[in-house]
Amino acid sequence: MVATASLTAAPPAREPLRRTLVRVAAARLVLAIGALAVSGAFIGVGRPGGEAAETALYAVLGAGFLLTAVSAALLPLVRRLSAFATVQLLLDGVLVTALVHFSGGADSFFSFLYLPITLYAAILFERRGAYGSAALASAGYGLALWAAERTGTRELFGGPAPGTPLFALWVVHTAALLLVALLGTALARELRIAGEQLEKSTSSLRRLRDLHERTVESLTSGLLTTDLEGRITSFNPEAERISCWRGQEAIGRDVEEVLPGAREIVMAPRAGGGRPRARMAFRDRLGQERRLGLSGGVLRSADGEPGGWVVIFQDVTDVMRMEAELRRSERLAATGQLAANMAHEIRNPLAAISGSLEMLRGREGREQGVRERQQLMEIALREVERLDHLIADFLAYARPAAAEPAPLPLAPVVEEVVKMLEASHPRSLELSSDVPADCVVRADPRQLRQVLWNLLLNAVQALPEGGRVQISARRVSAAPQEGGAQRRNDHDEGGHHVEIAISDTGVGIEPEVLERVFEPFFTTKRFGSGLGLPTVHRVVENHGGSLSLESSPGAGTTVRVRLPAAESGA
């Protein structure tokens, strides 16, 4: 029972209001059944002259059942739900007033039914609906009391209770109705706020879910997730394109059936715990050969516990083809540059040899001293020897011997090279090493000794007046893209490496020189070939490692060599 004006104050949303009206209809049905049971058991039993009142009472109850049935039938068809709810409340108030009147007025069992009407009016229309319904319920109750006294209905159902003024009874009921309106308004407000927050959270969650779905569908990388057993639980469109598997067919299958090799790369236990990265050969469902770049990791649940695996992969077939073409072009360009540099380096010794021979031939038949002839021949022999060393260095750079890497403890190798160097270095030079026993690398022993010898010899030559050279080593976790190109292309998991650092206290290297130290035939030494560091660099790369220099004028130089680590017991 609520005024129509109250409906415009806070009109609820259509669907929540429709659901509330369904609940109201269900509550009305339950109350009507209860009222019918109470009426049959207690009201008017053995009261002479009460037949008409009883008939009217049962008619009102029948009208309540009819109202419930009609409301349930019309509710799906109604569009103006607020007006429909107002009519329902008004009809409920009329029915309860009639029920109270025909069941004895002040002595009626049914006066409490005004309270649920006020309560669900508050739920439907909040404050104005609650207080409007309470006011109309109070007026209806007063009318029922007055009518029962005037028509004598109260006497038919038990008579007046002595000492109970009707006005006081009306005031008490009105106060109860206002209290229920107050509490119902607070409850309705809390329900509305909670509903709005729930709707906002639901909407945000829906938007987030839609954004997640669109993001996954728009990825240019294949993405799949699995459970802890490796069965696929999701499969995005790019994964379908790369693998030629339909998502519905792939979901539920073992990941090894769809991406052979992915389980070993992504799900195998890893000592370092890093994120695996690899490139692998792959044949799609149509039989086409591809190369995939693949990465993955643990998929964790909301509480942080492992719930499965996520695998991300890309078709890098074209990228690898372009990389191969680029490397081929780089090799051709380097070959041309090497040929030009080689020609320049050979020209100087040949000129010296040619000049010496010309001088010997020009003085043929003339008397010349033995010492002068000997000097010219020494010049020619020295330049021939220089050419021989140059060609040997060039061949070592251009065609390095095939590496045979094996697990190799680093400390004994360093100690051996340091002792060889100590035998020839000046006393003013201090050599020290700090290599832990657990540093084990995968390397060719002969080539590793040559790398360390060349680097230490360069450090010693940078200290003509003495100083300190230190060599140290430690285990490190390499970045995923470290290492040579060959290692990145095949199987680079970003695992553990051993870093060897060789530091000296020399004068350092100028920045413009530092940029060119790995160029073939570039040297600042008077008799150097310029192939030492480039050869070392190539050997390290062939081992799947990396080489870097840190230097600044006056601060010395540090060379860092990273090589793949091997287990100590391997």
Q: Can you tell me the distance from the alpha carbon of 399 to that of 369, in angstroms, rounded to the nearest whole number?
A: 45
Higher-scoring residue by pLDDT: 355, 234? 234
The confidence score (pLDDT) of residue 164 equals: 56
Query: Which residues have C-beta within 8 Å of that of residue 34, sequence separation ≥ 6?
Result: none
Q: What is the DSSP letter of 454?
A: H
Q: Reply yes or no on whether the pLDDT at 486 is more than 50.
A: no
The confidence score (pLDDT) of residue 321 equals: 86
The confidence score (pLDDT) of residue 313 equals: 92
Q: Say yes or no: 31 and 9 in one domain.
A: yes
Is residue 42, in this structure, part of any structural domain at all?
Answer: yes
Pull the structure tokens for residue 54.
Answer: 């009883």
User: 365: pLDDT confidence band, cut at 50, 70 and 90?
Assistant: very low
- Weakest-pLDDT range from 69-73, 434-438, 450-454: 69-73
537: containing domain:
406-564
Higher-scoring residue by pLDDT: 343, 140? 140
Domain final residue, candidates 363, 379, 398: 398
User: 253: pLDDT confidence band, cut at 50, 70 and 90?
Assistant: very high
**Of 183, 12, 157, 179, whose CA–CA distance to 84 is shortest?**
12
In three-state secondary structure terms, 288 is: coil
The confidence score (pLDDT) of residue 1 equals: 35
Q: Reply yes or no on whether the pLDDT at 292 is more than 80.
A: yes
Query: Which residues have C-beta within 8 Å of that of residue 459, sequence separation ≥ 6?
Result: 469, 502, 503, 504, 506, 557, 559
Q: Say yes or no: 284 and 255 in one domain.
A: yes
Is residue 212, in this structure, part of any structural domain at all?
Answer: no
For residue 306, the domain's CATH number is 3.30.450.20
Q: Reply yes or no on whether the pLDDT at 154 is more than 70.
A: no
Q: Reply yes or no on whether the pLDDT at 422 is more than 50.
A: yes
Q: Say yes or no: 426 and 545 in one domain.
A: yes
Q: Say yes or no: 39 and 140 in one domain.
A: yes
Q: How far is CA 497 from the centre of its chain?
A: 27
The confidence score (pLDDT) of residue 5 equals: 32
Q: pTM (2 decimals)? A: 0.44
Q: Reply yes or no on whether the pLDDT at 79 is more than 70.
A: yes
Is residue 210, in this structure, part of any structural domain at all?
Answer: no
280 bridge partner residues = 292
Tens-digit pLDDT profile for residues 30-59:
777 777 777 666 555 445 555 666 777 778
**Of 293, 325, 297, whose CA–CA distance to 310 is shortest?**
297
Q: Reply yes or no on whether the pLDDT at 159 is more than 80.
A: no
Domain final residue, candidates 378, 398, 418: 398
For residue 517, the domain's CATH number is 3.30.565.10
Q: Reply yes or no on whether the pLDDT at 24 is more than 80.
A: no
Q: Reply yes or no on whether the pLDDT at 116 is more than 70.
A: yes
Q: Say yes or no: 149 and 290 in one domain.
A: no
Whole-Å CA distances, 130 to 7, 322, 377? 11, 76, 122
Whole-Å CA distances, 82 to 31, 85, 138, 192? 23, 5, 23, 16
Q: Reply yes or no on whether the pLDDT at 521 is more than 80.
A: no
The confidence score (pLDDT) of residue 2 equals: 32
**Of 461, 453, 470, 451, whose CA–CA distance to 426 is shortest?**
461
In three-state secondary structure terms, 165 is: coil
Phi then psi for 564, rounded to 5 degrees?
A: -60, 135
Q: Say yes or no: 51 and 106 in one domain.
A: yes
Q: Say yes or no: 18 and 149 in one domain.
A: yes
Arithmetic mean of pLDDT, 164-177: 77
Q: Say yes or no: 411 and 505 in one domain.
A: yes
**What are the DSSP E strand ranges found in 267-398?**
277-283, 289-300, 306-315
Q: Reply yes or no on whether the pLDDT at 4 is more than 70.
A: no
The confidence score (pLDDT) of residue 232 equals: 92
Is residue 211, in this structure, part of any structural domain at all?
Answer: no
For residue 374, the domain's CATH number is 1.10.287.130
The answer to whether residues 10 and 128 touch, using CB atoms and an 8 Å cutoff, is yes
Arithmetic mean of pLDDT, 345-365: 64
With pLDDT > 70 as the criterion, what percentage of the chain qualifies?
70
Q: Say yes or no: 103 and 37 in one domain.
A: yes
Q: Reply yes or no on whether the pLDDT at 337 is more than 70.
A: no
The confidence score (pLDDT) of residue 357 equals: 66
Q: Say yes or no: 69 and 167 in one domain.
A: yes
User: 170: pLDDT confidence band, cut at 50, 70 and 90?
Assistant: confident
Q: Reply yes or no on whether the pLDDT at 3 is more than 50.
A: no
Arithmetic mean of pLDDT, 484-508: 64
- Weakest-pLDDT range from 150-164, 301-315, 516-530, 552-566: 150-164
Q: Reply yes or no on whether the pLDDT at 492 is more than 50.
A: no
Tally the residues of the chain.
570
Is residue 166, in this structure, part of any structural domain at all?
Answer: yes
User: 481: pLDDT confidence band, cut at 50, 70 and 90?
Assistant: very low
The confidence score (pLDDT) of residue 12 equals: 45
Q: Is residue 550 exposed (0-12), middle (13-18) or buried (19+ Cβ within 10 Å)?
A: middle
Domain final residue, candidates 329, 363, 398: 398
Is residue 347, in this structure, part of any structural domain at all?
Answer: yes
Q: Say yes or no: 367 and 230 in one domain.
A: no
Q: Say yes or no: 42 and 145 in one domain.
A: yes
One-character DSSP codes across 206-240: HHHHHHHHHHHHH-SSEEEEE-TT-BEEEE-HHHH
- Weakest-pLDDT range from 89-98, 100-109, 275-284, 289-298: 100-109
- Scanning the structure block, which residue is given the tokens 């005037």? 150
The confidence score (pLDDT) of residue 394 equals: 63
Is residue 213, in this structure, part of any structural domain at all?
Answer: no
Is residue 103, in this structure, part of any structural domain at all?
Answer: yes
Measure the N-to-C terminal CA separation of the chain; round to a whole number of Å. Answer: 88
Tens-digit pLDDT profile for residues 259-274:
998 888 888 766 555 6
Q: Reply yes or no on whether the pLDDT at 15 is more than 70.
A: no
Q: Reply yes or no on whether the pLDDT at 336 is more than 60.
A: yes
Higher-scoring residue by pLDDT: 333, 362? 333
Domain count along the chain: 4
Highest mean pLDDT among 45-49, 116-120, 327-331: 116-120
